[in-house]
Structure 1
Amino acid sequence: MDPRIERHAEILVDYSIEAERGDEVVVTAPPEAEDLVVAISAKLGERGANVTRSLGSSRAMRAYLNAIDEDDIAENAVDRAMTEAMDAVISIRANRNSHELSDVAPEKMSAIRRENKETHEIRMEKRWVLTQFPTEADAQAAEMSTDAYEGFVWNAINRDWQEQYDHQEQFTELLDEASEVHIVSGDTTDVRMSVEGMRAANDHGKHNVPAGEVFTAPNPESVEGEVLFDMPLVTDGREVENVRLVFEGGEVVEHSADRNEDLLTSMLDTDEGARRLGELGVGMNRGIDRFTKNMLFDEKMGDTVHMAIGRAIDENVPEGKEGNDSAIHTDMIVDMSEDSFIELDGDVVQRDGRFVFEDGFEQ
């Protein structure tokens, strides 16, 4: 087997979920990721864990959602029971067709998320990690050769995550102590938000692989201003381009997109919390050096900021604070490589993608 796959599996089992003897571990993956599932299964066996493998198929999901009446969509009780019983889950993405869900009604996608919201919340309390296995379809979406894409993926994943943690912790400490964040990019993005009392988190391979971001939760009613997300959002098999959101009192009061605006509208209409921000994240993985239309990688890319409408991540919300609640959590990206800056409490801490603690930073 490719040693890069072996290393990938080792990171997931030993570093991300820290598998132990007797753990009940669920591995969810499509058929295209079989090699990684095999490597993970061997690692889990060596550590004495119990493994349940669950087949994921976007083709099957498409067939189901297109056939079912929206009013018949209900919570998946079997999935909930499995989620309650497991100790950890490794979820793997690998596309045969990255646009397989493109002709599913957005309202049905919103409905299935709402109905399974409690199961998702239970899963988030377990040890979990989400990762990517490279496929020809994903290489094509990234406009790369298969070999080049494989190298790109494993260069982003098979890293020294402790070293990455140390690098990111410099910004985590700055953000954790801040009260107000001000983000400007060109003349299209100028937004302020309070993060006072929230907890900044250092994403270093425990939940996402690849990792490489520092993120926090805005106070839900504090977001003011306008944001143009100038990198495409790819979700539910469709691309939403040039998303523009205007916030007042923390709520999206205006929105537009150059492409698939109906999908954006459907997401915002999922529930009350879908019109507020649940996350502010800053990409810091320099091993991700190009946009590939895959949010698992793109949001970690250096020189970017991302914001998520919808649910706040529990890790960011200390006891006694209120984070945003929603059935969705959808990240969107702003390019910060030129004519851009991030201010924390009035001090510039990043300009044109370079941090105050990095070589090349200009005040």
Structure 2
Amino acid sequence: MVDKKTLEKYAELALKTGVNLQANQAVMINAPIEGADFTRIVAKKAYELGAKDVHINWSDDELTLLKYENVPDEVIGSFPDWRVKLHDTYAEDGAAVLSIRSTNPDLLQNIDPKRVAMANKASGEAMKNFRKYTMNDKIPWSIISIPSGDWAQKIFPDKTKEDAVESLWEAILKIVRVDQEDPIAAWNEHNETLKTKREELNEKNYKKLIFQAPGTDLELELPEGHVWKGGSAVAETGVTFNPNMPTEEVFSMPHKYGVNGTVSSTKPLNYGGSVIDNFSLTFKDGKVVDFQAEQGEAVLQHLLDSDEGARRLGEVALVPHESPVSQSGLIFYNTLFDENASCHIALGKAYPTNVEGGSSMSEEELDQHGVNDSLIHVDFMIGSDKLDIDGVKQDGTTEPVFRGGTWA
């Protein structure tokens, strides 16, 4: 098993570099029951760093599945007010939010996708206000992962549960740099690298990007005033934090009406406890007009039908093929990891911070700037060592951005 000292190092990284917890600040932690031991280490460390309050929202895969199997549609399609109030109260208080993810990718594979879509829609609508706090960087937030038995065995099917968990711990700790002498210093260096890359792209100010790979021929127009971000972010309070650990991407947004062509997935997408795999989407004027999937087509259909904005894109992210996640050679069936193995795009809501002045714009102003709105934000992977990307400059000339899956 992973020794306590290493787990303490990981907890400290999540709190200091992830959410950058400040003295006398509250922290809300979303955590799985299976990870209770690690979560207690995080809570203890948070109090040591001066947190005024540590609140844990526990989740449990088995109880989640029981609920989906047994409750009527009207319960599935509703979201409790007390949970909305809980999240809003902590957000209004300027709390940090840390999510510890380890869900079984196949948890809901035998549940009617319609019921899963109903639940996702209900939570999306209810948590709209809270999502403004995170997607506009009003409060510091971060997502990390720890292994669970079912998830580990999905990645390492030939190993016993115990050995699979051990192997997944090893992979995660390496990818998030906890295996290094000073993980925090390693992350500071990594953030500087990503900062340099995003500054280069902001200077280029491309008009559009053209993606070409087997099964992919896609043109993405970038809105006027678009901003590339990546690595660390800065909250309204001026605190620097890392929303995703790991992160290897620089990302911006496509214009919601300016996407045309076809794109094919290069890795499975785990969405709401089901896997969608080997799928392609065809866009016209920003909207998905056709789609197909070898696995999970019904789930993909419900995802696209979530709301008006679900068929449009909210993010484009560039990740070189030689990222540590990609080099691990593993498929994680977990977006936090798989999106950092390859270039990806996201269906649904765009981050308002990806356009100049976006976080203070009204919904109407955002729409006028080509910023997509939706209840969902779902990343899926389109990158590989066969992906080429060209950037079209403001004067119409073209130059290579990616060749063979890496920076040109």
C-alpha contact 1:212 1:300 (8 A) present in aligned 2: yes
Partner deviation per Cα, 1:190-235 (whole Å, 9 max, x = no partner): 1011113211111347111112211111110000010011211122
Measured in 2, the distance between the counterparts of 1:38 and 1:24 equals 16
Residue 2, structure 1, aligned to residue 40, structure 2: no
Partner deviation per Cα, 1:317-351 (whole Å, 9 max, x = no partner): 3335341111111111123212x211111210211
Structure 2 equivalent of residue 19 of structure 1: 21
Measured in 2, the distance between the counterparts of 1:84 and 1:243 equals 36
Structure 2 equivalent of residue 92 of structure 1: 100
TM-score by length of 1: 0.90
- Residue identity in the other structure for 1:81: K
Residue 317, structure 1, aligned to residue 344, structure 2: no
The DSSP-based 3-state class of the residue aligned with 1:111 is helix
Structure 2 equivalent of residue 48 of structure 1: 50
**Structure with the higher fraction of residues in helix conformation:** 2
C-alpha contact 1:9 1:43 (8 A) present in aligned 2: yes
Q: How many residues align?
A: 351
Structure 1 equivalent of residue 173 of structure 2: 154
Unaligned runs of 5+ in 2: 233-240, 359-364, 393-397
Partner deviation per Cα, 1:231-283 (whole Å, 9 max, x = no partner): 11122222211111000000000000011111100100111101001111122
The DSSP-based 3-state class of the residue aligned with 2:302 is helix
Measured in 2, the distance between the counterparts of 1:10 and 1:51 equals 15
Residue 307, structure 1, aligned to residue 350, structure 2: no
C-alpha contact 1:58 1:101 (8 A) present in aligned 2: no
Aligned pair partner of 2:85 in 81, 96, 107: 81
- Residue identity in the other structure for 1:316: N
The DSSP-based 3-state class of the residue aligned with 1:75 is coil
Measured in 1, the distance between the counterparts of 2:155 and 2:253 equals 30
The DSSP-based 3-state class of the residue aligned with 2:23 is coil
**In the superposition, relative to structure 1, how do residues 35 and 305 fare at CA in structure 2: closer, same or farther (>3 Å)?**
same
**In the superposition, relative to structure 1, how do residues 309 and 248 fare at CA in structure 2: closer, same or farther (>3 Å)?**
same
- Residue identity in the other structure for 1:190: D
Q: 1:123 Cα shift?
A: 4.8
Structure 1 equivalent of residue 238 of structure 2: none
Task: State percent identity of aligned pairs.
Answer: 24
TM-score by length of 2: 0.81
Q: 1:307 Cα shift?
A: 0.9
Partner deviation per Cα, 1:108-153 (whole Å, 9 max, x = no partner): 2222232233154145143211110123322222227433321110
Measured in 2, the distance between the counterparts of 1:234 and 1:243 equals 12
- Residue identity in the other structure for 2:81: A
Structure 1 equivalent of residue 235 of structure 2: none
Greater shift, 114-123 or 256-265, is seen at 114-123
Structure 2 equivalent of residue 192 of structure 1: 219
RMSD: 2.0
